[in-house]
A = this chain, B = another copy of it.
Amino acid sequence: MDESLKVSLRPVRRKQKTPTSGVTAARGFLASGLHCGIRRDRADLALVTSDRPASAAAVFTTNRVQAAPILLSRENLRISGGHARAIVVNSGNANACTGEPGLLAARRTVDETARLLEVPPEQILVASTGVIGVPLPVSRIVAALPRAVSSLSPAGGRSAAEAILTTDTRTKLSARTVRTSCGTYVVGAMAKGSGMIHPNMATTLAFVTTDAAVSPAILQRSLERAVEVSFNRITVDGDTSTNDMVAVLAGGASGIGVCEGGAPLFEEALTGVLTDLAKEVARDGEGATKLVTIEVSGAACDADALQVARTVARSLLVKTAIHGADANWGRIVAAAGSAGVDVAPEAMKISFDHVEVLSPGYVSSFSEEEARRVLEKEEITVRIELGKGSGRSVLWTCDLGHGYIDINASYRT
């Protein structure tokens, strides 16, 4: 992994300022984002296209309740044998729990996009995000699609990234350039996500494009591995969405092919952009004021470390204490103890950044003032050393504050 994949306190946000970030960073891809009328006055329709048939791969939510666009995108990928020409996304409405009419609406979106782009419908991926259980006003999407097509441009990557947002406070873009002996290719991506975020699944929406040529099989395998250590390592509120999807399109416009030998390099770049975005989602968690990195080491195995990290990251008591800049390490020990793995509290070591608040043998003597200064920062790393073995894991979450309640006590109404 390159430097940027390591747990870093460098603000990832800065990456968004590079004009080459996002889904149009890679050659051969255009995008647009506009207002079609599902949301009151925010962009709500995004289109991403490849100038040639692209290999495609995706991972989907593990929720048993799956939105219509999830069902249809999965079917299309199967029929097309892992190929796609475009991704069409609406925000403001999840098209979930909408039954047969919802499926027809998703299909109509796909068919109309395919007709306008003159490509087979099975080469269109479709995604939705927003409120559950409300019929999708598909006619507004259909009416706006010609405009979405005519406004496709390389600069449209940013508009597309805006159009897929819901309660997010900012766009989430990333890109990596990969240098090979034959030349360079780019992996770029956008994501949305702020609430209903929980690890161990393909969380939220993220779309990746690359101008490398990659077979559908290598693409799918690389995506699954990259998602496992990026989007599957974040949690905001412990709720799993019905609409999660991470998709990647590989067009090949760079002329560089990724074969088995080159796959690690590609996977590294893919992991890089997805980790950037996953951290951005955690940082932009509903009501969040802090990005919190949970690093667990010294576990009996990596799986144990991950389980402890997940339990600590999901603990409301830990998240509220961090919100209040309270170095309440007892809550971290209690959460670790309830993770269902063997931990020995007397062997534990806990730090907030460089401030060790608990040393083995329950020794705890630290400057409250110094701990508070660390916990008041916008990025904090919680290090938990279990003293059992060499298992380690890292996970990203956020604090829990009043903003979460404000947003979610009246989201629908």
**CB < 8 Å: which of B62, B94, B133, B364 contacts A329?**
B133
Least CB distance from A92 to B in Å reads 14
**CB < 8 Å: which of B63, B321, B336, B368 contacts A411?**
B321
Does the CB pair A239–B324 fall under 8 Å? no
8 Å CB interface, A214-238 against B: 237-238
8 Å CB interface, A308-361 against B: 314-317, 320-321, 323-324, 326-331, 333-339, 341-343, 345-346, 358, 361
Chain B residues in 8 Å Cβ range of A102: 362
Q: Which residue of chain B is the closest to A409 with respect to CB atoms?
A: B324
Chain B residues in 8 Å Cβ range of A402: 402, 405
CA A238 to CA B198, docked complex, whole Å: 14
Chain B residues in 8 Å Cβ range of A405: 320, 323, 400-402, 405
Most chain B CB within 10 A, of A102, A326, A331, is at A331
Chain B residues in 8 Å Cβ range of A65: 333-334, 336-338, 343, 345
Range of interface residues on A (Cβ < 8 Å): 35 or more
Does the CB pair A362–B98 fall under 8 Å? yes
8 Å CB interface, A18-35 against B: none
**CB < 8 Å: which of B94, B238, B362 contacts A238?**
B238
With contacts A65-B345, A404-B316 taken as known, whether A97 is within 8 angstroms of B333 at the C-beta atoms is yes
Q: Which residue of chain B is the closest to A318 with respect to CB atoms?
A: B239
With contacts A65-B333, A409-B323 taken as known, whether A133 is within 8 angstroms of B317 at the C-beta atoms is no
CA A94 to CA B400, docked complex, whole Å: 24
Does the CB pair B411–A334 fall under 8 Å? no
A-B contact pairs, 26 of them (CB 8 A): A63-B337, A64-B337, A65-B333, A65-B334, A65-B343, A96-B330, A96-B334, A99-B361, A133-B358, A133-B362, A133-B364, A198-B338, A238-B316, A240-B337, A241-B334, A316-B408, A321-B409, A324-B408, A324-B410, A326-B409, A326-B411, A326-B412, A328-B411, A328-B412, A402-B405, A405-B405
